[in-house]
Amino acid sequence: MAGLVPLPGTATAWQAIIDRVNAIGAGPVYLLCTITAIACGALLFRGYRRSRTRLLLWCALFFLALALENFLVFIDLIIVPQTDLYFIRTSIALVGVTLLLCGLIWDVE
pLDDT digits (tens, 9 = 90+) for 54-81: 999 999 999 999 999 999 999 988 888 8
| Dist. CA 54–CA 40, nearest whole Å | 16
**88 occurs within a structural domain:** yes
**18 occurs within a structural domain:** no
Closest CA to 63 of 90, 86, 95: 95
**6 occurs within a structural domain:** no
Q: Is the pLDDT of residue 2 over 60?
A: no
72 lies in which domain range?
25-106
Q: What is the arithmetic mean of pLDDT over 17-26?
A: 67
Q: Is the pLDDT of residue 37 over 90?
A: yes
Q: Is the pLDDT of residue 3 over 70?
A: no
**71 occurs within a structural domain:** yes
Number of domains in the chain: 1
Q: Is the pLDDT of residue 100 over 90?
A: yes
- Yes or no: say if 78 and 27 are a contact pair by the CB < 8 Å rule: yes
Q: Max CA-CA distance within the chain?
A: 61
Q: Mean pLDDT of all residues in the chain?
A: 85
